[in-house]
Chains A and B, each alone.
Chain A
Amino acid sequence: MSQDDIFTRVQKIVKEQLEVELSEVKPEANFANDLGADSLDTVELVMALEEEFDIEIPDEAAEGITTVQACVDYINSQLAAPKA
């Protein structure tokens, strides 16, 4: 899956979860500051991303993902890694 494909799918999920416009979900957008995500929103968003990409995002990793681009990068790294 290309970075662009991942971004498009992440963008759609973030839009649905956080009820924001698609155009607001830019790579540099910060989930908390730009997209209004609170702590519970973040938990739910992580769950939705885990389902979409069939991956697991541990809490420690999730804490470090503050922007849309960081999210795309993390998912990309997980999809690229060989499954155990």
Chain B
Amino acid sequence: MTNIERKRVVITGLGAITPIGNTLSEYWEGLLAGKNGIGPITLFDPSRHDCRFAAEVKGYDPHDYLERKEAKRMDRFAQFGVSASKQAVADAKFEINDLNAEQVGVILGTGIGGLKVLEDQQEIYLNRGPDRCSPFMIPMMIANMAAGLTAIHTGAKGPNSCPVTACAAGSNAVGDAFRLVQGGYAQAMICGGTEAAVTPLCVAGFAAARALSTRNDDPTHACRPFDRDRDGFVVGEGAGILMLEEMEYALARGAKIYAEIVGYGLTCDAYHMTSPVPGGNGASRAMALALKDAGLTPDQVSYINAHGTSTLPNDSTETKAIKQTLGDHAYKVAISSTKSMTGHLLGGSGGIEAVATVMAIANDKIPPTINLENPDPECDLDYVPHTSRDLKVDVALSNSFGFGGHNVTLAFKKFVP
């Protein structure tokens, strides 16, 4: 696409169901306050597991958003996705009607899909046989159903899909939606990521891959990105959703505009199923491509919402990648891992972190990295430890990397008409 053909794309609505708050304002205030969303697992009995804590969503009632029967027919990941999408559309004061419905689409990413319903049905299958499996198992489980149900519940009849790129899925969703609006294929897109994988098999599987923290005696200090004592990520759940709109369309209807989305970079390591390529070249190229796509230079970046999972390989590799892309400016940019508070929402993380990045731009405030007590010598950048910071944010990046070697960077900018 040439610049002449590209339409500008702005963010006009945000929604969030997270381990630290179930509305946009609760989430954002929680991030600025350094609120910790991690605690013992309550969604199942974790006593046999090596990791017995997670970042669960608390106090969420699907019936605030859905009729009883609708809620019963959805896995938790779809409930989160639909609920946060409804928040974002309402926040944007965007009315989807007969005139515009075909110009409004949905892209919701997820890493895992409806694992809870699959686990429950597998038990029924083994104990009671194939004839007792629910007719709702497949529709509730398949990963794309959050996107499908969001369309059903909002009336959005335009482009609709679901990237399943592990922990990069939410960011892929936002980037793909950005491209569709930019290219004139939709006027508005509901996009982001959702996940509800605090389940026995998911926790067992990630623990077996040695990806999880096992700091069971001190869960609130378990997620410590960039710290020398980090020992793995903490599974989280929830959804983060953005309403993207073509700028002229948003201005014409007098919409409030949080920020502009200006760049999307995506690469693959082509190296290993779960480990990042040493040196972080894949991640570095994603950041560079996002900047190039946006027509920005590295020195213009004020803030990076890092992938920052708190695993040993990620945080040092991501640090190297940031240095490779930004050069000396890497030492001047504010970087934080909000996963230190929310845990790792897998496919949902790109969604809630895009929301956090947009809010940083809109409010000129940087959420902190909590639990960063003893920085790893290999992690020597400014990670905004412990407390939030007031800082004018003109350009911000959000990084997401996933198993499979997927690297995604989104670039956002303060909106100037």
Contacts and interface: CB of A to CB of B under 8 A. Distances in A.
B136 A40 contact: yes
Interface string A12-49: 00000011000000000000000010001001100100
A19 B69 contact: yes
A40 B69 CA distance: 12
A66 to B, nearest CB: 18
B72 interface: yes
B404 to A, nearest CB: 32
A18 B72 CA distance: 10
Contacts of B131: 47
A44 B72 contact: no
A66 B115 CA distance: 34
A19 B67 contact: yes
A53 B131 CA distance: 16
B132 interface: yes
A19 B132 CA distance: 20
Instruction: Categorize the interface residue count of chain A.
Output: under 10
Contacts of A19: 67-69, 72
Q: At the interface, is chain A mostly helix, strand, loop or mixed?
A: helix
B295 interface: no
B42 interface: no
Contacts of A43: 135
Contact of A47 (B67, B69, B132, B139): B132
Interface in B114-137: 131-132, 134-136
B208 to A, nearest CB: 34
A18 B69 contact: yes
Contacts of A36: 69
B134 A44 contact: yes
Contacts of B139: 40
B384 to A, nearest CB: 47
Contacts of A18: 69
Interface string A41-78: 00110010000000000000000000000000000000
A40 B138 CA distance: 11
Nearest to B134: A44
* Most B C-beta atoms less than 10 A away, residue of A18, A19, A36: A19
A35 to B, nearest CB: 10
Contacts of B73: 40
Contacts of B134: 44, 47
Nearest to B67: A19
A7 B135 CA distance: 25
B138 to A, nearest CB: 10
B134 to A, nearest CB: 6
B79 to A, nearest CB: 15
Interface of A: 18-19, 36, 40, 43-44, 47
13 contacts: A18-B69, A19-B67, A19-B68, A19-B69, A19-B72, A36-B69, A40-B73, A40-B135, A43-B135, A44-B134, A44-B135, A44-B136, A47-B131
Interface of B: 67-69, 72-73, 131-132, 134-136, 139
Given A19-B67, A19-B68, 5 more contacts: A19-B69, A40-B73, A44-B136, A47-B131, A47-B132
